[in-house]
Amino acid sequence: MNDRDDPAARVARLFDELADDYDQSGVAFFAPIAEGLVDALALVPGERVVDIGCGRGAVTFPAARAVGTTGAVTAVDIAPAMVELTRRRAEQSGCVQVTTALGTADELGLHDASADVLASSLVLFFAPDPVATLRAWLRLLVPGGRFGLATFGTPDPVWERVDALFRPYLPPQLLDPRTSGADGPFASDEGMVQLALACGASSARTVRHHVPVHFPDAAAWRAFSQSTGQRAFWRFVPEDRRQRLYEEAAEVLEDARTDGGDLVLHQSLRYTLGTV
């Protein structure tokens, strides 16, 4: 089976290619989302945390600070390059409580009942079978263990209009979870709660979080979009259409221009929190 047939392989290859640029555009996006999730989980020193889909460590390192050197954070990702870059960062910053691991969505290579807390930010909607995936994740928790999942909430109208410019070019499997699946679990607070309960949670609730995302100009938005999973969107746009799409996006983005000068798009998040 090649990665044309295997959605997980496609995701792994995309994020492996993105790793050097991922979360490096200068736009504060992944960090404030992750920090909000870590705050919502109320970690305490000594706890053992698993960060699934760690990327460049947006959740990993705030979690490491919260649990201290008496705790432990295992950062897991499907992309080897992400894992290696997070490992290097941990080593360079002296975070001895951080270890890294390579794993797929359902096969994390970790023991059941080995963690006190599970965290995953903007990852679960990439899974071809979210129910099977979340069940596998929750098995990592000890009885009474806590989990926190960050997923996208209601889209900013301007951001939604920008994303819509890509839609005519995208195959169904690459439609962004912010703009598809109106009847799926990622479309509502209650949908996420019911997903967690169906996967073995004993309790679950969803709270909202809001992050204003600042771009000095449309060029910054373009650089940001090409340093995230949205790079895959650009690849489906024919080369002779990309500049025009960018110009159309720049026109739309002007509706988000503030008096302070920045373009400000508002990202709504769902934090689904619970226990097993």
Tell me, what DSSP letter sits at residue 165? T
Alpha helices in the chain (DSSP H): 7-18, 30-41, 60-67, 80-93, 130-138, 157-164, 189-198, 218-225, 231-236, 239-253
Is 100 strand, coil or helix?
strand
Q: What are phi and psi of 238, to 5 degrees?
A: -55, 145
Tell me the CA distances in angstroms from 141 to 116, 144, 153, one per residue in order. 6, 8, 26
What pTM, to 2 d.p., does this model score? 0.92
Pick the range with the lowest mean pLDDT from 39-53, 82-96, 168-182, 231-245. Answer: 168-182
- Rounded CA-CA distance 193/213 in Å is 26
Q: Which two tokens stand for residue 205?
A: 């609730």
pLDDT > 70: what percent of the chain? Answer: 93
pLDDT of residue 136: 94
Would you list the domain boundaries of the chain? 7-155+181-214+267-275
pLDDT digits (tens, 9 = 90+) for 120-135: 999 999 888 999 999 9
- Rounded CA-CA distance 14/6 in Å is 13
Neighbours of 12 (CB within 10 A): 22
pLDDT of residue 175: 58
Name the CATH superfamily for 7-155+181-214+267-275.
Vaccinia Virus protein VP39 (3.40.50.150)
